[in-house]
Amino acid sequence: MPLIRYCTEIEGEADLRAALANLPATAPVIVMVHGYKFSPHSQDFCPFTDILSLAPRKRARGLSWPRHLGVGRTPPEQEPLCIAFGWNSRGTIWRAWRAAHRAGRDLARLLALVAEVRGHGAQVIAHSLGALVTLSAIRRAPQGSVGRVVLLSGAAFRSNAACAMASPAGRDAEVLNVTSGENLMFDMLLEAGLGLGRRSIGRGFDGGANWVNLRIDDAGHAAALHGLGHRIARPSRRVCHWSGYLRPGVFGLYRRWFAAPETLPPAMLRAHLPARRRARPAFLPQGLNLTGIAPRRPM
């Protein structure tokens, strides 16, 4: 069972425990956390029939995360078990922000369950407001229950990340914080609406030895990744909240981050990346492109 849904209001733990118990010891467990505007209860905006499924509905952003993480594309002993974590992020951003903290408690319990059955931590990949869910979960999860994490255009603040990384689970976790200037407008809107003076992790965060900030639209970062064997496509839009998973080449990097951690330790990756530069609002000089700022579809 390479893909399993997990939502505390829909499915219990029995199927998950059985899947974990039957999983080869060499196969990773990857929890996938969606962002804003999805709900497992919605027919039109259900994550289990969209990005967290093996066959998403055809949409501009309908790319299958589990397939690109290796489900159905790797040998059985290495094929990951992808857990699609569903939570209700519909409604206003303020309602979804509160819901993300509650979902973090559910995710923390899930991570504890995986660690209990497997004996080691799970991996996590999260987009947008799913990053807040993930950081909230790390802050609450038991020590050793979190392995490697990928945050994509994270809608969370540096203070959320600081609390998570200082926790028992956070001290063991290794985080790849994927950012882009294409997402800067969303970072600014988050700060203006909910920040109260706080800065988004999209602007980078000094998270210590186990935290890496990766700017996928930066030419220097792209060159460094190319030198490590990963060719990431250049940006095709001025404003895009989804480039962290839509940009050709990025999932090859994420698969390696999860499946072969010994080949890509945080210290080595940081050593290859150039010094961080301040994000530049590239959309301003040639006029404001409002593509995707207030999307009607899920984020």
pLDDT in tens, 169-228: 999 999 999 999 999 999 999 999 999 899 999 999 999 999 999 999 999 999 999 999
| Distance (Å, whole) CA 152 – CA 159 | 17
Record the pTM: 0.91
Domain ranges within the chain, ordered by starting residue? 3-272
Of 229, 217, 211, the residue nearest 277 (C-alpha) = 217
Superfamily assignment of 3-272 in CATH? Answer: Alpha/Beta hydrolase fold, catalytic domain (3.40.50.1820)
Concatenated DSSP letters for 155-217?
--BHHHHHHHHTSTTTTT-EEEEEE-GGGHHHHHHHIIIIITT--BGGG-----TTEEEEETT
Percent of the chain past pLDDT 90, that is, above it, reads 75
- Lowest-pLDDT range of 94-98, 138-142, 281-285: 281-285
Backbone angles phi, psi at 245, to 5 degrees: -125, -15
CA distance 18 to 284: 52
Smallest Cα–Cα separation from 153: which of 215, 230, 104?
215
- pLDDT of amino acid 281: 52
Pairing verdict, β 174-179 and 122-127 = unpaired
Who has greater pLDDT, 85 or 58? Answer: 85
Cβ contact 291:240 at 8 Å: yes
Kindly report, residue by residue over 262-296, the tens digit of the pLDDT: 999 999 999 999 976 555 554 444 434 433 333 44
CA distance 49 to 61: 13
**Beta partners for residue 150, in sequence order:** 125, 176
Q: Are 133 and 141 in contact (CB under 8 A)?
A: no
